[in-house]
């Protein structure tokens, strides 16, 4: 694993873990499972996904990053690391948790702005394509994708219903007392079903356009993103809530 991979990936994973710990303290634990915990979630916003992808060697090669760009991206990874490794959230007040969420979102927004200055337009566009590939049907929640596909309000409601139902079923699996390994086949089937139901909401024309938006396929798995390092110590060498290989 490269130093850039570790710096960026570990920092983003810590930031996601911080968000997850804060949300877990809320009544209902994490809202409706959106952006984390569900079969397609675990990475939050598109910006989070893209910054994590920049840690992947295959993505770096695909984007043809030069040494100066890699150096600047490493700095961003170091800046994203939560102070003290994330902290203890159990005794935080609602106001303190809200403050941490706001700080997390501000950090990611600032980091994305810096990334946009480091990458040239062609690299930015290709990174978006790869992030949409990795997100699968969850990419339909990205405002830019929704706008390009002209997804209607009714379709957005239908997509939300699919994801909410999937998150509910995913949480039920997580609470059935079985190990994640024992539930793995069920999680895999749930992810597949969720993907199929989400894509079924689209018209044939939208499906064709969605495939075009994702660009040429890059062979990257979720396991590649963590490389057994950032997620070490958790089942399957990935952060809690992160999906297994699609």
Residue carrying the six token digits 């890699």:
70
pLDDT for res 239: 38
Among 40, 49, 30, smallest CA distance to 188 is for 40
pLDDT for res 104: 79
Cα–Cα distance measured from residue 119 to residue 126, given in angstroms and rounded to the nearest whole number: 10
Cα–Cα distance measured from residue 233 to residue 158, given in angstroms and rounded to the nearest whole number: 37
Q: pLDDT class for 128, splitting at 50, 70, 90?
A: very high
Of residues 222 and 36, more confidence is placed in 222
Least confident of 74-88, 93-107, 137-151, 223-237: 223-237
What residues contact residue 95 under an 8 Å CB cut-off, 6+ apart?
none
Q: pLDDT class for 92, splitting at 50, 70, 90?
A: confident
CA 80 to chain centre: 16
Least confident of 145-149, 195-199, 219-223: 219-223
Note if the pTM is more than 0.75.
no
pLDDT for res 88: 58
Cα–Cα distance measured from residue 56 to residue 27, given in angstroms and rounded to the nearest whole number: 35
pLDDT for res 87: 54
pLDDT for res 72: 92
pLDDT for res 118: 95
Cα–Cα distance measured from residue 74 to residue 215, given in angstroms and rounded to the nearest whole number: 26
Among 128, 129, 86, smallest CA distance to 107 is for 86
Angstrom distances, CA of residue 49 to CA of 35, 148, 150, 174, 225: 11, 20, 23, 23, 10
- Domain edges within the chain: 3-237
State the greatest distance between any 2 C-alpha atoms of the chain, in Å, as a whole number: 51
Specify whether the CB–CB gap between 15 and 187 falls below 8 A: no
């Amino acid at each position: 694993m490269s130093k850039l991979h570790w710096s960026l990936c570990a920092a983003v994973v810590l930031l996601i873990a911080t968000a997850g710990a804060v949300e877990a303290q809320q009544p209902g634990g994490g809202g409706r499972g959106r952006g984390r915990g569900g079969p397609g979630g675990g990475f939050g916003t598109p910006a989070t996904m893209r910054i994590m992808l920049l840690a992947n060697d295959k993505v770096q090669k695909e984007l043809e990053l030069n040494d100066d760009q890699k150096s600047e991206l490493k700095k961003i990874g170091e800046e994203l690391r939560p102070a003290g490794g994330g902290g203890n959230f159990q005794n935080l007040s609602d106001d303190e948790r809200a403050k941490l969420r706001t700080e997390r979102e501000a950090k990611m927004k600032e980091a994305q702005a810096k990334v946009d200055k480091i990458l040239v337009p062609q690299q930015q566009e290709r990174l978006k394509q790869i992030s949409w590939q990795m997100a699968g049907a969850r990419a339909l929640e990205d405002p830019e994708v929704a706008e390009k596909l002209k997804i209607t309000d009714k379709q957005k409601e239908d997509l939300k219903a699919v994801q909410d139902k999937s998150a509910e079923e995913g949480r039920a699996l997580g609470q059935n007392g079985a190990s994640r390994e024992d539930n793995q086949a069920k999680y895999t089937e749930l992810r597949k079903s969720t993907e199929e139901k989400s894509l079924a909401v689209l018209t044939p024309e939208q499906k064709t356009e969605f495939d075009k938006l994702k660009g040429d396929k890059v062979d990257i798995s979720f396991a590649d993103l963590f490389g057994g390092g950032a997620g070490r110590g958790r089942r399957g060498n990935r952060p809690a809530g992160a999906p297994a290989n699609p």
